[in-house]
Amino acid sequence: MSDIHANSLSDTGPAEAGFGDFVALLKPRVMSLVVFTALVGLLVAPVSLHPLVAFTCVLFIALGAGASGALNMWWDADIDQVMRRTKGRPIPAGLVQPGEALGFGLALSGLAVMMLWLAANTLAALLLAFTIFFYAVVYSMWLKRSTPQNIVIGGAAGAFPPMIGWVCATGSISVEAVLMFMLIFMWTPPHFWSLALFMNSDYEKAGVPMLTVTHGKRVTRNHILVYTVALVPFALATGFTSIGGPVYLAVSAVLNAGFLWGAWKIWRRDEAAAEADGYATEKAVFKFSLLYLFLHFVALLAEAALHSYGFGDW
Residues that bind other proteins (CB under 8 A): 3-4, 6-11, 15-20, 22, 50, 52-53, 56, 59, 118-119
Angle, CA 8 vertex, CA 4 and CA 10 arms, to 5°:
115
Q: Angle 280-308/246-268 helices, nearest 10 degrees? A: 170
How far apart are CB 7 and other proteins at their closest, in Å? 5
How far apart are CB 22 and other proteins at their closest, in Å? 8
**Closer residue to other proteins in complex, CB, 121/200:** 121
How far apart are CB 44 and other proteins at their closest, in Å? 22
How far apart are CB 95 and other proteins at their closest, in Å? 9
**Closer residue to other proteins in complex, CB, 111/229:** 111
Angle, CA 33 vertex, CA 137 and CA 81 arms, to 5°:
50
**Closer residue to other proteins in complex, CB, 119/231:** 119
SS (H, E, C) 69-114: HHHHHHHCHHHHHHCCCCCCCCCCCCCCCHHHHHHHHHHHHHHHHH
Cα-Cα-Cα-Cα torsion 285, 286, 292, 295, nearest 10 degrees, comes to -130
**Closer residue to other proteins in complex, CB, 54/235:** 54
Residues contacting 15, CB < 8 A, separation 6+: 94, 95
Please tell me whether residue 163 adopts helix, strand or coil conformation: helix
Residue 60 CA to residue 44 CA, distance in Å, equals 19
**Closer residue to other proteins in complex, CB, 15/178:** 15
Q: Angle 122-133/51-75 helices, nearest 10 degrees? A: 20
**Closer residue to other proteins in complex, CB, 13/278:** 13
User: Phi, psi (5° rounding) for residue 270?
Assistant: -115, 180
How far apart are CB 19 and other proteins at their closest, in Å? 3
**Closer residue to other proteins in complex, CB, 29/50:** 50
Residue 99 CA to residue 25 CA, distance in Å, equals 13
How far apart are CB 260 and other proteins at their closest, in Å? 44
How far apart are CB 173 and other proteins at their closest, in Å? 20
